[in-house]
Amino acid sequence: MIMKYAAEEKTEDGAPNGNFFLNEASAKRAATEVVSTHLGLKGGDLKSYIGTYFPRTWAHFDVNGSGMIGVEVMPQLARFIASDQTLQL
């Protein structure tokens, strides 16, 4: 998740600070991959599923409306969007 989707926050002077986050677009790409690989959806079915469930899932996890979530929250988001709390990531 960190290597492929997350970005690292920076301090005021531009140095990386070790905190990783995903914005809505990167979280959507990650969620799309999870739904595709774990639920087996492809093509139009995948697009329809993500179009239906990602906006409400994002709103559920970005409760402060900051436009980003910590990388440590992505496993919960993935389980939520897949409707499978036992999903092994």
Query: How confident is the model over 4-22, as pLDDT tens digits?
Result: 999 999 999 999 999 999 9
Nearest CA among 44, 47, 69, 49 for reference residue 59: 69
Query: Which letter does DSSP use for residue 71 in this model?
Result: G
Label residue 26 by pLDDT band (50, 70, 90).
very high
Q: What is the pLDDT of residues 44-87, one digit of tens each?
A: 999 999 999 999 999 999 999 999 999 999 999 999 999 999 98
pLDDT of residue 87: 87
Query: Which letter does DSSP use for residue 73 in this model?
Result: G
pLDDT of residue 73: 96
Q: What is the phi/psi pair of residue 48, to 5°? A: -65, -45
Q: What is the phi/psi pair of residue 77, to 5°? A: -60, -40
What ranges do the domains of the chain cover?
7-82
Q: Is the pLDDT of residue 88 over 90?
A: no
* Residue linked to tokens 């639920």: 39
